[in-house]
């Protein structure tokens, strides 16, 4: 039943461009999803698998973190991109020891991430020893021993790094951080450092908890929903159904984005009969903002709200909420009233009319939700931007009541749960105290390295062992050349993975690939089916059960890998009952219940029909556990992203046919880019002004404040309706352009959405093709 992956790699000369689509989803989406699924796993496995996505007794879709509806679940509670995520994992294509024997590392290092991923599921633990040209098979026990030897040889545990990507389930995450802290370090960088860290930082400071305050039902009660810096049509397609539902109940929806993203502007719900034939326009208004202009927008809107309050006192500012629950209002008011609207227009590119009508809606709406994703977080002033959005909601009393609140829309399906379970380089002492009490260990208290600092540490030779629990560190991180050199400097790199990726071919002196079960795979221990649990973007925790027969008997669950490594590394007399946990995941959940706040009675509650919702003090009782004990109005100096003369500001984003560094295919259907990925979308007037022609090949050179430059070559320039001076290109191809030190203030998140670049005509070098 096994299949081989495609042999052909991407040929960028086959790239073609069509008009961007006006509507998302609909019949095409269903057809594309089924086509991909059948291609990867055949008809029977497709039918068996897709019917189980996001169902009560099924598995959690590994696509995104958007919640499932709590009431009636439709038979197909998935979307085109969820189906692609499932097909990618449930594929019958395999990467076997024979594959590794046939392909040297040198050869694999020349392949695209797309080609690597398309080869299929990893089937055996593999090792690459110093001097080897090919990976070769290794026994699991030998692999653990090798890792333990390297870890024991370090001068201090702080020379090791333990990365996590957000697919890891709660049970694994809890045990993994327990292993890492038992070993003796807090070096737990994760994908969240590159993702919603800015949201967590801002919200913790403003409302005392780094999570969103709305639940899925709040969408039905909202009358204004702002979606800023997010492309749900591609990255959270099921959110479109929630938005369409809110709209049907009378909500107004405003999209704030530099790009006219198809899903936001038009949507055909593939899950309703009507949606097959006719679509709705999701956004009632589209504010085409300049990259990095959102902080100016929110401050400008704040000023207009104060003016509206002056015109009709007592109708705009929720004085009762502000007086009872907030701190810092007077200073916020003073600062905000002084905001210069001319600067706001320049920073945002928006007109007085656009600002005025948005302010009016904010002043008049009874229930307001603000949603956001990477367009806000991956900015140098991302934390302050999110604080300013939160300020508006506080001013209007919009936290802790139905139909209103902050909604950071998470990325990876369990990235929020991983944090709840302790995957964080600076977990609060209270959590560590509880961990130590439960297990009779002594967790280190000194904070560890986040993702950017982990790269710096490897570069400086201060970190020598890298362990990745999922993810694709090399391709996901900024400044590719720097990061690759940093990893190559390690003594050992270990990747616990489902699929082949670039992090396996850019490696330390010794490298290990440990193949693991995915969300869809059946996980049997002593003949008993094990389940794992996850938390969605709205703090709902529920079970996930894989049912597919794994593609190889050699695969081990992430829990097993952590427990077996722990026993080898920490010895048989270690106080944590690793052997028990590995056999019965209920035992892990019992420990979680005793250690993790809000998880009491975990085993029982997680088995309820829709699981359970974790406590959120601002949402539940308008309680704000901040430094002041109140919700804090933040005061920030207005920061934005001007375009230097003759330069462009580049954002690096996702196509419709990828999951982060996993490239499903070469079809960014909604934006009209097909057959290739090396494109840069530029305003047609900027193309004309700079003397290029549409379709020409260019090199992109990024410029950093220290005078250094970085370059990627051979990108096709395409005229696209993005604001003047603002360009867009796909991640991860453009990661080499993002300087490692270009990080957001306070969250240390790489600024992937604002890189200053110039374009140069591409000169073909090398042999003619």
Residues that bind ligand MGD (CB under 6 A): 63-64, 81, 117, 165-167, 191, 194-195, 228-231, 234-236, 256-259, 261, 289, 291-292, 294, 373-375, 378-379, 411-412, 469-473, 476, 496-499, 501, 516, 518-519, 558, 651-654, 658-662, 731, 735, 738, 752-753
Supply 717's token pair. 């320039």
Closest separation in Å from C-beta 373 to Mo ion? 8
CA 294 to chain CA centroid, nearest Å: 20
- Cα distance between residue 539 and residue 666, in whole Å: 34
Interaction partner, residue 230 (Mo ion, ligand MGD, none; CB < 5-8 Å by kind) = ligand MGD
Local structure of 648: helix, strand or coil: strand
Interaction partner, residue 515 (Mo ion, ligand MGD, none; CB < 5-8 Å by kind) = none
Closest separation in Å from C-beta 214 to ligand MGD? 17
Residues 593-632, mask of contacts with Mo ion (x by CB under 5 A): ----------------------------------------
- The stretch near Mo ion (CB under 5 A) out of 124-132, 410-418, 486-494, 643-651 is 410-418
| Number of residues in the chain | 769
Q: Which is nearer to ligand MGD, 215 or 520 (CB)?
A: 520
Closest separation in Å from C-beta 535 to Mo ion? 15
Interaction partner, residue 96 (ligand MGD, Mo ion, none; CB < 5-8 Å by kind) = none
* Residues in Cβ contact with 334 at an 8 Å cutoff, skipping those fewer than 6 apart: none
Supply 17's token pair. 């461009």
Closest separation in Å from C-beta 385 to ligand MGD? 8
Closest listed residue to residue 261, CA positions, set 243, 238, 286, 226: 286
Closest separation in Å from C-beta 163 to Mo ion? 14
Place of tokens 């082949």: 500
- Cα distance between residue 622 and residue 399, in whole Å: 7
Q: Which is nearer to ligand MGD, 20 or 63 (CB)?
A: 63
Local structure of 761: helix, strand or coil: strand
Q: In what order do the strands lie in the sheet with 673-674?
A: 16-17, 673-674, 667-668
Give phi and psi for 505, each to the nearest 5: -105, -10
Which runs of consecutive H residues, i.e. helices, occur in 489-609? 502-505, 558-570, 578-583, 585-595, 602-605
Interaction partner, residue 231 (Mo ion, ligand MGD, none; CB < 5-8 Å by kind) = ligand MGD
Closest separation in Å from C-beta 738 to ligand MGD? 5
DSSP 93: B
Interaction partner, residue 753 (Mo ion, ligand MGD, none; CB < 5-8 Å by kind) = ligand MGD
Closest separation in Å from C-beta 474 to Mo ion? 16
Q: Which is nearer to ligand MGD, 287 or 631 (CB)?
A: 287
Closest separation in Å from C-beta 408 to Mo ion? 11
Please, are residues 238 and 253 in contact by the beta-carbon 8 Å criterion?
A: no
Closest separation in Å from C-beta 425 to Mo ion? 17
- Cα distance between residue 667 and residue 650, in whole Å: 21
Specify which residues 750 forms β-bridges with.
Answer: 743
Q: Which is nearer to Mo ion, 391 or 451 (CB)?
A: 451
Q: Is 195 in the site for Mo ion (CB under 5 A)?
A: yes
- Cα distance between residue 305 and residue 311, in whole Å: 10
CA dihedral sign of residues 171, 173, 174, 178? positive
Question: How many residues in the shown chain lie near Mo ion by CB under 5 A?
Answer: 2
Count of beta carbons in the 10 Å neighbourhood of residue 617: 15
Q: Which is nearer to ligand MGD, 261 or 623 (CB)?
A: 261
Interaction partner, residue 535 (Mo ion, ligand MGD, none; CB < 5-8 Å by kind) = none
Contact residues: Mo ion, CB under 5 A: 195, 411
């Amino acid at each position: 039943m096994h299949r081989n992956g495609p042999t052909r790699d991407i040929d960028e000369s086959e790239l073609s461009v069509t008009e961007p689509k006006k509507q998302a989803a609909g019949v095409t989406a269903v057809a594309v999803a089924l086509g991909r699924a059948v291609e990867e796993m055949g008809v029977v496995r497709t039918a068996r698998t897709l019917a189980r996505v996001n169902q009560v007794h099924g598995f959690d879709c590994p696509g995104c973190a958007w919640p499932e509806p709590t009431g009636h679940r439709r038979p197909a509670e998935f979307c085109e991109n969820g189906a692609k995520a499932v097909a990618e994992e449930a594929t019958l294509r395999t990467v076997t020891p024979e594959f590794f024997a046939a392909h040297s590392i040198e050869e694999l290092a020349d392949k695209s991430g797309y080609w690597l991923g398309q080869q299929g599921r990893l089937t055996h633990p593999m090792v690459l020893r110093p001097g080897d040209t090919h990976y070769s098979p290794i026994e699991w026990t030998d692999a653990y021993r090798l890792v333990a030897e390297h870890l024991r040889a370090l001068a201090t545990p702080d020379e090791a790094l333990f990365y996590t990507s957000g697919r890891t389930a709660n049970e694994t995450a809890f045990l993994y951080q327990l292993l890492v802290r038992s070993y003796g370090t807090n070096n737990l960088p994760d994908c969240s450092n590159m993702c919603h860290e800015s949201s967590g930082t801002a919200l913790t400071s403003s409302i005392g908890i780094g999570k969103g305050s709305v639940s899925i039902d709040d969408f039905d009660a909202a009358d204004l929903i702002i979606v800023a810096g997010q492309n749900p049509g591609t990255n959270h397609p099921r959110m479109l159904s929630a938005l369409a539902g809110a709209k049907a109940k009378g909500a107004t929806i405003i999209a704030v984005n530099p790009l006219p993203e198809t899903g936001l502007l038009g949507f055909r719900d593939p899950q309703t009969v009507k949606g097959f034939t006719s679509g709705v326009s999701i956004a009632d208004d589209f504010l085409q903002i300049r990259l990095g202009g959102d902080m100016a927008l929110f401050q400008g809107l704040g000023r207009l709200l104060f003016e509206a309050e002056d015109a009709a006192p007592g109708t705009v500012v929720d004085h009762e909420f502000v007086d009872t629950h907030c701190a810092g209002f007077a200073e916020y008011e003073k600062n905000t009233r002084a905001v210069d609207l001319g600067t706001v227009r320049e920073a945002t590119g928006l007109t007085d009319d656009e600002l005025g009508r948005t302010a009016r809606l904010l002043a008049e709406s009874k229930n307001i939700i603000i949603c956001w994703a990477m367009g806000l977080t991956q900015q140098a002033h991302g934390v302050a931007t999110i604080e300013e959005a939160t300020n508006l909601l506080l001013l209007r009393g919009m936290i802790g009541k139905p139909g209103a609140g902050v909604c950071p829309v998470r990325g990876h399906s369990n990235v929020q749960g991983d944090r709840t379970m302790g995957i964080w380089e600076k977990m609060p002492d209270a959590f560590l105290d509880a961990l130590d009490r439960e297990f009779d260990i002594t967790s280190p208290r000194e904070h560890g390295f986040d993702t950017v600092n982990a790269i710096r540490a490897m570069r400086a030779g201060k970190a020598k062992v890298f362990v990745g629990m999922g993810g694709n560190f090399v391709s996901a991180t900024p400044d590719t050349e720097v990061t690759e050199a940093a990893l190559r400097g390690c003594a050992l790199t270990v990747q616990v993975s489902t699929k082949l990726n670039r992090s396996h071919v850019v490696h330390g002196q010794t490298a290990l690939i440990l193949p693991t079960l995915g969300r869809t795979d059946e996980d049997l221990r002593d003949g008993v089916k094990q389940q794992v649990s996850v938390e969605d973007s709205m703090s709902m925790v529920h079970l996930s059960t894989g049912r597919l027969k794994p593609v190889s008997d050699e695969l081990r669950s992430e829990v097993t890998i952590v427990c077996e490594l722990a026993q080898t590394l920490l010895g048989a007399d270690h106080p944590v009952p690793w052997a028990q946990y590995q056999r019965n995941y209920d035992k892990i959940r019992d420990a979680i219940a005793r250690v993790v706040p809000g998880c009491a009675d975990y085993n029982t509650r997680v088995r309820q029909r829709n699981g359970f919702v974790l406590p959120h003090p601002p949402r539940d009782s308008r309680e704000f556990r901040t430094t002041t004990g109140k919700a804090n109005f933040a005061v920030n100096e207005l920061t934005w992203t001007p375009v230097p003369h003759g330069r462009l500001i580049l954002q690096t984003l996702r196509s419709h046919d990828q999951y982060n560094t996993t490239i499903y295919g070469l079809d960014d259907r909604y934006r009209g880019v097909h057959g290739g990925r090396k494109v840069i979308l530029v305003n047609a007037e900027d193309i004309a002004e700079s003397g290029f022609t549409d379709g020409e090949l260019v090199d992109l050179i990024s410029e950093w404040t220290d005078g250094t430059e970085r370059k990627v070559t051979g990108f096709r320039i395409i005229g696209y309706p993005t604001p003047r001076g603002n360009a867009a290109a796909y991640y991860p191809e453009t990661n080499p352009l993002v300087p490692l030190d270009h990080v957001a203030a306070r969250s240390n998140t790489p600024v992937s959405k604002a890189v200053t670049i110039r374009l140069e005509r591409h000169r073909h070098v090398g042999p003619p093709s």
